[in-house]
Structure formats: structure tokens, C-alpha cells
Amino acid sequence: MGEILAFVLYFVAMLSIGLFFFIKSRSKNEAEYFLGGRGMGPWVTAMSAQASDMSAWLLMGLPGSILAFGLGQAWIGIGLALGTIANWIFVAARLRRFSKAANDSITFPQYLSNRFVTKNPALQIICAVIFLVCFTVYVASAFVAGTTVFTSVFPKLDPNTARLIFAVIIIIYTFLGGFKAVCWTDFFQGILMLVALLAVPVVIVLTKDISAAAITDITVGETTYGFTANPFAADWKEIVSGLAWGLGYFGMPHIIVRFMSIKKASMAKKSAIVAIIWVVISLTATIFVAYFGRMLIGQQLLENSAQSTVFIELSRMLFPSFIAGILLAAIIAASMSTADSQLLVASSSFTSDIYKPVFRKNASDKEVLWVGRIVVLLVSVVAYFIASSKGEGANVIMNLVENAWAGFGAAFGPVVLLSLYWKRFTYAGAVAGIVSGGATVVLWIAFLSKSTGIYELFPGFIVCLVFSVVVSLLTKAPSKEVTDLFEKATDKNFDD
């Protein structure tokens, strides 16, 4: 009963935030709905960026993988931590200034087009279509994770009903409140995730005798699960692939859009400090959750192929039902904070980069805003049916999420960095980079992923970088209008 009460209170709070911002900003324009009017403070920006980044993978996928296979899997977390740090240091403040200088762009594809001062909508449309497809898959994966937690808390609840409840709640507060509702819910959800991740290992250290516990092999049937306690003993391919995950951050639209929304570029420094501390503590705590979980309940989890539920089972074992319910709500928070952000980015890309420039150039702000809300609903419906697939379908979704991260990172990461730091970068170079990086990921997955053991993001990122630079050097140099925009945006006093 305590778990149920905690869940109900949590969802009431999230819906209340969405209703509050709908009432407060219902007369605002698309910039307000999709980017919060560029008025987000440093704390909300930081927590929202990190919460939208770390989905339920942080509390289920990563600890489950470490529990089963050892600390070699932690290299993904290390790569993500390094990527987060680099993203905040090298991209955040600079992208805030560039997006403002580039005709006050409110979406990432819009920024790329405005950065090169072109009216050619081709790049915007290509990016928006990629976003729409990939984010629909991402949202579907969040629905799968949310359903898992719901059916764990409510065992008698039908999975389809659980998935529907989860989807409806996300749709309501994203549909109503827009970017501000998403950011503020992410802010509270980020705090909840951090508290939950810290609570479990701290209580274990204080209450359990783990000094004599050893990480031993666990045998289930004919399979033996060894545990690599030394991460540096991992295979070099595992290390390279784990670190490559960090490269993806430079091209993640739902994360870098937070940089565009911050009130002033100078505030990015404070946001960076908050975000970096959050991600380092969270990822470290996740590793300890897996490590202690292997000691205490590893055998029973692996016997039931339930290693991804290690956080759920430890929470129930260590805390009273109401507190456990709050901690389990952290998993829902992780899923929701990622899904809502991706819904909004997919919606904003369609409305601002396809609908308005291609179909309705004279569309009013009110019309664009409501089209955006309808797209939120449509993407959610498609994602719901994808997440409802039976059998191997769910596994396919999770694999596609990994591939989508590689696709975003390889196609857009180098382009973002070059657009911010290289004055000679051209529109043709950006198009060549996006196409070559994305194509490399697809080809690598199809022909080389299994044989090489290297995560497709790494070669895709390199190919995108090379094509972007080479094509830019082979094509006509940017016009004075483009270089003037670059000079304006690189002035550290601009927009502060």
C-alpha cells in the first residue's frame, strides 16, 4: 500500500506542474512552448539536461549489465561521464551565443541552417525527419521501461494498461506545459534520481556486513557468470566502445537544446558545475548498486534473468514500503524525463523545420503551437504501439536505442563542434558530414559491428569529421555575412 501511495503522489505532482505551466503560458508563442522563452536558470538547465539524458538505463540497464558481467561494463558509464563534462565545457555557452546570433534559432536543425545564413530548407528537413523517426523509437523504449516498473509495483496490472497509464501522464504534462513543464519536471526528477541512487548503497554500507563478502562466479544451469572486478582488465574493444559513447553527447538534440534555452551564456558555467557533479555521483552510485547487488542477491536475480531489476529488489529489501515506492518512482522519473524531452524535440523539429517553412509559411504562433501539441500526441501513439510489440520486439527496440545514440552522435556531433569553432566550415561540409556519418553507422551495423566488436559511433564520428572538413575545404569559402555571424557569436560579451 505504501508503494502505491508514493506512486500516486508522485504522478499528481508531475501532472500539476504541466497544468501550472499550461495556465501560466497558454497565450505565449512557439519559442515559449519549445524553448521556454530562453529564460531557464542554471540549476533547472543543468538538472533538466542530465535527467533528460539518463533514462531508466541508469537504474536498470547499466547496473544489470555490471551485475552480470563485471566492471568492464562500467566503461560505458565512464565514457558518458567524460562526454558530459566535455559537452558542458566546449558546447554549452558557445551554442547559447551562436543560436541567439543565428536569427534566434529555437531548434537544432534551424540553428544549423541559420548558422550558414541560407534559406535552403534541405538541411532542416533532413535533420527533422531523422529526429522524428529516431525519437519515436527512443520514446517507445521509455514506455517499455515504465511498463516494467508499473507491473513490478502493481503485479496484477495488465502490461498494456500499465503502458497506457505511463504514456498518458507524459503526454498530458508535455502537451499542456511545453518546454518549461518538461524542464521543471526534469529538475525534480533529477533530484529524485540522485537521492535514490545514493540511498541504496549508503544504507547497505551502514546496515550490511559486506567486509567479508567476495565477488565469486555464479552458475545458472550451464552458464557461469564471472565478475571482472578490475575494469582495466576489460578487453580493449570494450574500453574503446565504452569511451566512444561519450562522443555521442555533442550530437544529442534533446540535451543540447537545453544549452540553447539557458537565460544567459554566462550562466552555463554554474550549470556545468551542477551537471558534472550530478553525473559523476550518479554513475558512481550506480556502479556500487550493481556491485553490492551482486553480493547480496546476484544468484537469485541471474537465476530468473532479472538482473535489470537489481535496484528495485534492493530498494524493497532495505526500506519500508512507502520509502521504497519513492525510490522506485525514481525509475519512472528516469523514463519520463527522457521521454518528455524527446517528444518535445521531435515535435519542435517537425513544426518549426517542416510544417512552417514547407507547408504553412504564414502560420500563426497559435497554429504552430497547436500543431506541435498534436505531433506530441501522434508520436506518443506510434511509440506506444511499437512498445507493445511482443517477444523479440522489445529487444529490437533496445538495440535500436543504442543504434540511434550512435546515429545522432556520428551524424551531428562533429558538425556541432565545427559549427562552433571553425569559421571556414561550410553548408556543403555540414551536409556531407551528416550524410556520411549517418551512412557509416548504418553500414557498420550491417557489416562490421559483430566482426570488429567496435561500437559504430566511433567510426561514424571519425568519418563525419573527415568529410565535413574535406568538403568544406574543397568548396567556396563562407560569405562575409556568415563570417560576421561567427565573429559576433564568438564575442564572449554577446548576449550577456
What is the pLDDT at residue 384?
86
pLDDT digits (tens, 9 = 90+) for 438-456: 999 999 998 998 888 889 9
Mean pLDDT score of the chain, rounded to an integer?
83
Q: What is the mean pLDDT of residues 186-194?
A: 81
Neighbours of 495 (CB within 10 A): 19
What is the pLDDT at residue 394?
42
C-alpha cell at 95: 551554442
What residues contact 232, with CB distance under 8 A and at least 6 apart?
none
pLDDT digits (tens, 9 = 90+) for 461-480: 999 999 999 999 999 999 99
Listed in sequence order, the DSSP H helices in 208-320 are 236-244, 253-261, 268-303, 310-318
What is the pLDDT at residue 417?
97
Do residues 41 and 176 make contact, with C-beta atoms less than 8 angstroms apart?
no
Across 17-137, the runs of DSSP E, i.e. the strands, are none
Cα dihedral sign for 97, 99, 100, 102? positive
% of the chain with per-residue pLDDT over 70? 90
What residues contact 434, with CB distance under 8 A and at least 6 apart?
123, 126, 127, 411, 412, 415, 464
**For the chain, what are the domain ranges?**
2-396
C-alpha cell at 379: 508520436
Give the Cα separation of 329 and 323 in Å (integer). 10
Residue 271, pLDDT > 70, answer yes
What is the pLDDT at residue 21?
67
pLDDT digits (tens, 9 = 90+) for 283-319: 999 999 999 998 888 888 888 888 888 998 999 999 9
| Domain 2-396 fold | Sodium/glucose cotransporter (1.20.1730)
What is the pLDDT at residue 223?
80
- The 8-class DSSP code of residue 306 comes to -
Neighbours of 65 (CB within 10 A): 19
What is the pLDDT at residue 208?
83
Give the Cα separation of 346 and 334 in Å (integer). 19
What is the pLDDT at residue 467?
97
Instruction: Provide the 3-class DSSP secondary structure of residue 492.
Output: coil
Q: What is the mean pLDDT of residues 245-260?
A: 89
What is the pLDDT at residue 176?
65
What is the pLDDT at residue 333?
73
How many residues are given for the chain?
496
Residue 240, pLDDT > 60, answer yes
Do residues 62 and 285 make contact, with C-beta atoms less than 8 angstroms apart?
no
| Burial call 192-205: b when 16+ CB within 10 Å, e when fewer | bbbebbbbbbebbe
First CA to last CA distance, the chain: 51
What residues contact 165, with CB distance under 8 A and at least 6 apart?
150
Range of lowest pLDDT (124-128, 278-282, 456-460)? 124-128
Q: Provide the whole-model pTM.
A: 0.85
Q: What is the mean pLDDT of residues 411-430?
A: 96
Residue 490, pLDDT > 60, answer yes
What is the pLDDT confidence band of residue 354, given thresholds at 50, 70 and 90?
confident
What is the pLDDT confidence band of residue 361, given thresholds at 50, 70 and 90?
confident
Give the Cα separation of 201 and 194 in Å (integer). 12
What is the pLDDT confidence band of residue 329, given thresholds at 50, 70 and 90?
confident
Residue 100, pLDDT > 50, answer yes
Do residues 43 and 187 make contact, with C-beta atoms less than 8 angstroms apart?
yes
What is the pLDDT confidence band of residue 216, given thresholds at 50, 70 and 90?
confident
CA-to-CA dists, residue 4 to 13, 172, 199, 309, angstroms: 14, 21, 20, 18
Give the Cα separation of 398 and 34 in Å (integer). 27
Residue 11, pLDDT > 80, answer no
